[in-house]
Structure 1
Amino acid sequence: MYLLLPHSPIELKEHPKSMASVSHKAQLFEFCARAVYAIQAECDSILSGLDRANESSLAGCGSALIDLLSRQARQITTCYQELRLPNTSEGELLSEKRQLVLKRLDDIISISYSKFYAFLFRDLPTCWRQLYTDASILKFCFNLLWSPYVYDYAAEDGRTDQKRFDGANCDISELVRTLDLALILAGAAGEQRGRRWVNKALELLHMNWREMTTHIGTPITERPAKRKKLAESPSLNDGLEIEDTFSTNEPFTPPVKHPIKLVDALSMEEFQAYLDNSHNLKLGPAPLIIRGAINTWPALTTNPWNKPSYLLSQTFDGHRLVPIEIGRSYVDEGWGQKIVTFGEFLSNYIDTSLAGAQGNSDVDTSSSSLEEGSIAYLAQHPLFTQLPALRNDILIPDYCYTAPPPHPTDPSMDQPELDEPLLNAWFGPPGTITPLHTDPYHNILTQVVGRKYLRLYSPLVTERMRARGKENGVEMGNTSLMDVGVIEGWDAIPDDEESKPTEEDLASFREVPFLDCILEPGDALYIPIGWWHYVRGLSVSFSVSFWWN
């Protein structure tokens, strides 16, 4: 088994038909080799005293952990150096070292992660996040040597050489999981490597994965019901006919009683004029639906997010990890969070027909694995920093570069000016709920897939919203005790609901004026700072919010 390197004469001689694949494999190998060496060099520099400790340095983690990390990096560096030699035997070189090195790296990851619980995340010393990230990078680079993604496994006749796969027993899910956990849990910290390195590594891995998958079958977005497979973990698409688009079924649709003003797409100047010329000087501009504002986004045209096959193609057939909320609403008892693969999220919660046809997937789709009536929501997640490919499918609306007014009633809510808008993804099945709350920024909420119901209350009636305050040590003052779905009779009263409003409270709340709407794909809703809003998914729904000030 030999490595495919740019200078290898064997590469040009024996595999002239796979130059693109060869190039990407070589890029990934060399990219990882440089990172491993850089981590070793940084550790050695700290241990020798040549590096002056700073906030982003590993030095704050202590010499014992840095020495342990350095020793693992040194062993992995040796492996990469020796594997550059032709005819090197992978089994002879690495089998004795692999389990011990991986165990040490997992120990480092576990120790660094334990520190996350000793601080609020904003106060967590960067060194622990970088240690987690660098150990994860080493683990990825080492496991990569047991995958098909840096070796040439394609025989001349295009068939898979199974003998060469026997040693490549690290599947795509383990490689992706390692880096995704670094992104989600540690924010992929580090000045020299960090998020930029992780995103680039995943990009190169994705290129190789797509080429190898396409080479032995059909393109991943157009697969037949059955196809040949690599000696890999099963993917969500294997043996599965995927529906063209997500279902538009709406189990329940609330009536719109007090419609929000709707206009066709505005220019940036027209929107600024709307902000500057409010009819109510005390309140400021009112909510506004801008129809067709995002119709030209790739997410609605060339790269449609309403097609499961496209989203799967951008997530390694669903192997990317995402954090989701489990439960009807984050204020309900029993609500929780967990990290799952994107494929599991789709098959277990978005479209259960995917689960029924999934066959031998590594996702547990038995009835015992799903709670009856469970709802999951990918909510307020910075998905686009984790998946830059999806970020390319959307555009920041020009409206986010206007100058909006301050909070109309509470100047203490105004935040320092943002350099760029804050983007969050909201993706879930029918019935997802974001309870009545208010945010410290102006918001452009864009609807990409499906429909959502929203109800908004003016900041002038804040006292009648019955803000929650601090609960279990968490400040919940931006969230109301009033459950709009329960008050309107759309939802049952939770059995364990605490601080239940009295009948007098409910009657009083029903008299509070509000605005409401149903957002359609292509719509953008302007939610001014301070406005309380309740959000309910009516069908499978994918939205993107843009906070700005």
Structure 2
Amino acid sequence: MAAVDGAEDSAASPALWAEVRALLPNTEEALTLALSGEVEDCIPPLLRRARGLLYGAEGRPCEATAATLRRLGDVLRDYSWEKLNAGPWREISKAWRQVYTYGCLFGALAEVAAGSPLAPAVRLCDMGLLMGASVLDNVLARLVRVLQMRLPRAKRRLSPEGSAKRVRIDCRPAPVVPPEDALPHLYCPSLEHFRDNYLIPQKPVVLEGTIDHWPCMKKWSVDYFCQVAGCRTVPVELGSRYTDEEWSQKLMTVSDFINQYIVNENSVGYLAQHQLFDQIPELKEDIRIPDYCCLGEGEEDDITINAWFGPEGTVSPLHQDPQQNFLVQVFGRKYIQLYSPQDSENLYPHESHILHNTSQVDVEDPDLVKFPNFRKAAFQSCILMPGQVLFIPVKYWHYVRSLDISFSVSFWWS
């Protein structure tokens, strides 16, 4: 039962502990603590001790047991956190990510057992979902759903009357798209027509009428995200574009992000991440995999789904991606320019390995003295409206600027 009227259900209620406990295996032996690789010898005894505390008492653990379980969760998280930050992410052992997840799980269960406020337990679940690896059939995703139902639904704070109007970092007006530069638009093309005329020849196109039936088109708004995901912790990119020196990342709740960067503040923050829909399944239920993705070579599980949520003025600099892309506009508008991979030499990619897929040129205010060949590059453009889907072929360069508060979903596929 969801909490209402801003009142959080008591974390100490026997009913909540029974519901949470039911997410775990019935016996201590069934909670296997399996890891995908080797870890240091001090870790397995800590995991087993925490497991024993969960199964060692009838009903909810007592206050002293909950405190010990909390400390064990802290130790597991602190120890594994050092391992997670010891080198490039791709080189981090999955086993250490699983240890971090167990630390988050035991910490969240300790908060519930102690009757503490539920928001810290929800944050621990989110940290495990973001930084860890799935254990026990993705128990953290199931646990956070139970806990979230007990929290009051967040509301966004309206700007106080008479406050200064938001000053955007990038507040250029919506450009006019000349007919000769405009991308073609198609209404619900058949799979065969799209494949033969756009996918195989690798030509971008704006599709219309293909997502009108998606639930997100009627449900999603800033207020809806506050209600459904306001208490959830997510990574936020701070700054108008990722190439700026002041660009950074920060973890915060969705409601804090909305209140600080969508509603009230004079700076730009952007929610851009590929885990949002796995982290918050309620949102994933409102979207669909575009039918045209079936024309690819990979499986549906290989499709990467990204969320892009931010205020007016946020910019994705001219860059290219390694897969085909369907960019779905749910609400708000975006101005987009596209350049063929054949023009790559005229677009002056950064020389560094990290930014080699990103142009040095500000396409709306190019420095033609520094980048003279940029004038040779031909582009197509569009203003992507709600309900439209832009097909961006693999390696096609694209520049994106939000003209309003905007939410987009991109599907990367091969």
**418 and 461 in structure 1: CA distance in 2 versus 1, 3 angstrom threshold:** farther
Structure 2 contact 296–413 (Cα < 8 Å) conserved: no
**82 and 379 in structure 1: CA distance in 2 versus 1, 3 angstrom threshold:** closer
SS in 1 for 2:236: strand
Q: Map 1:133-148; keep pairs closer than 5 Å.
A: 133-146=101-114
Task: Give 1:189's match in structure 2, choosing from 112, 128, 134.
Answer: 134
Deviations 1:457-498 (A, max 9, x none): 11111111111122xxx52211111122332xxxxxxxxxxx
Task: Give 2:252's match in structure 1, choosing from 340, 352, 356.
Answer: 340
| Aligned counterpart, 1:68 | 46
Structure 2: state its 5+ residue gaps: 1-12, 161-165
| Aligned counterpart, 1:164 | none
| Aligned counterpart, 2:380 | 515
Task: Give 1:420's match in structure 2, choosing from 302, 319, 326.
Answer: 302
SS in 1 for 2:282: helix
| TM-score with structure 2 setting the length | 0.86
Paired positions, count: 392
| Deviation (angstroms), 1:377 | 0.7
| Aligned counterpart, 1:110 | 78
Task: Give 1:451's match in structure 2, choosing from 333, 354, 361.
Answer: 333
Task: Give 1:272's match in structure 2, choosing from 174, 195, 211.
Answer: 195
1:399 & 1:288 partners in 2: Cα distance? 13
Q: Does 1:288 align with 2:211?
A: no
User: Which structure is richer in relative contact order (CA contacts within 8 A, separation 6 or more)?
Assistant: 2
**108 and 36 in structure 1: CA distance in 2 versus 1, 3 angstrom threshold:** farther
Structure 1: state its 5+ residue gaps: 1-20, 47-54, 84-92, 147-167, 214-219, 221-234, 242-246, 278-283, 353-369, 405-415, 488-500
2:29 & 2:106 partners in 1: Cα distance? 11
| Deviation (angstroms), 1:38 | 5.4
2:226 & 2:199 partners in 1: Cα distance? 43
| Deviation (angstroms), 1:101 | 3.2
Task: Give 1:206's match in structure 2, choosing from 148, 161, 177.
Answer: 148
1:24 & 1:135 partners in 2: Cα distance? 21
| Deviation (angstroms), 1:263 | 1.6
| Deviation (angstroms), 1:65 | 1.7
Deviations 1:385-421 (A, max 9, x none): 11111001001111111148xxxxxxxxxxx887532
1:36 & 1:206 partners in 2: Cα distance? 26
Deviations 1:494-527 (A, max 9, x none): xxxxxxx6x4344431342110100000000011
| Deviation (angstroms), 1:447 | 0.3
SS in 2 for 1:260: coil
Q: Does 1:319 align with 2:256?
A: no
| Deviation (angstroms), 1:438 | 0.6
SS in 2 for 1:309: helix
Task: Give 1:486's match in structure 2, choosing from 348, 362, 365.
Answer: 365
Deviations 1:216-265 (A, max 9, x none): xxxx5xxxxxxxxxxxxxx4469999xxxxx9x98621222311111212
Structure 2 contact 122–148 (Cα < 8 Å) conserved: no
| Deviation (angstroms), 1:528 | 0.8
Q: Which residue identity is paired with 1:523?
A: Q
Structure 2 contact 327–390 (Cα < 8 Å) conserved: yes
2:157 & 2:238 partners in 1: Cα distance? 27
Higher helix fraction: Structure 1 or Structure 2? 1
| Aligned counterpart, 1:253 | 174
**418 and 271 in structure 1: CA distance in 2 versus 1, 3 angstrom threshold:** same
| Aligned counterpart, 2:22 | 30
**521 and 183 in structure 1: CA distance in 2 versus 1, 3 angstrom threshold:** same
| Aligned counterpart, 2:7 | none
Higher gyration radius (CA):
1
SS in 2 for 1:313: helix
| Deviation (angstroms), 1:30 | 2.1
Q: Cα RMSD between the aligned structures? A: 2.9
Q: Which residue identity is paired with 2:369?
A: E
| Deviation (angstroms), 1:31 | 1.7
Q: Which residue identity is paired with 2:233?
A: L
**288 and 129 in structure 1: CA distance in 2 versus 1, 3 angstrom threshold:** same
Q: Map 1:15-164; keep pairs closer than 5 Å.
A: 26-32=18-24, 34=25, 37=28, 42=32, 56-57=36-37, 60-79=38-57, 81-83=58-60, 94-146=62-114
**267 and 172 in structure 1: CA distance in 2 versus 1, 3 angstrom threshold:** farther
Q: Does 1:432 align with 2:314?
A: yes
| Deviation (angstroms), 1:24 | 7.3
| Aligned counterpart, 1:413 | none
1:65 & 1:102 partners in 2: Cα distance? 16
Q: Map 1:458-473; keep pairs closer than 5 Å.
A: 458-470=340-352
| Deviation (angstroms), 1:332 | 0.8
Structure 1 contact 36–141 (Cα < 8 Å) conserved: no
Structure 1 contact 173–319 (Cα < 8 Å) conserved: yes
| Deviation (angstroms), 1:197 | 1.3
SS in 2 for 1:351: helix
| Deviation (angstroms), 1:36 | 8.7
**36 and 137 in structure 1: CA distance in 2 versus 1, 3 angstrom threshold:** farther
Q: Which residue identity is paired with 1:104?
A: L
Q: Which residue identity is paired with 2:80?
A: S
2:96 & 2:378 partners in 1: Cα distance? 49
Structure 2 contact 107–124 (Cα < 8 Å) conserved: yes
1:239 & 1:259 partners in 2: Cα distance? 37
**38 and 109 in structure 1: CA distance in 2 versus 1, 3 angstrom threshold:** farther
1:443 & 1:523 partners in 2: Cα distance? 13
| Aligned counterpart, 1:391 | 284
Structure 2 contact 111–118 (Cα < 8 Å) conserved: no
SS in 2 for 1:31: coil
Deviations 1:404-442 (A, max 9, x none): 8xxxxxxxxxxx887532110111000111111111111
2:52 & 2:202 partners in 1: Cα distance? 60
Identity %: 32
| TM-score with structure 1 setting the length | 0.66
Structure 1 contact 36–76 (Cα < 8 Å) conserved: no
SS in 1 for 2:121: helix
| Aligned counterpart, 1:297 | 214
Structure 1 contact 424–546 (Cα < 8 Å) conserved: yes
Structure 1 contact 289–523 (Cα < 8 Å) conserved: yes
2:299 & 2:346 partners in 1: Cα distance? 29
Structure 1 contact 324–338 (Cα < 8 Å) conserved: yes
Deviations 1:178-215 (A, max 9, x none): 000001122x333x34xx211111223334x27xx5xx
Q: Which residue identity is paired with 1:525?
A: L
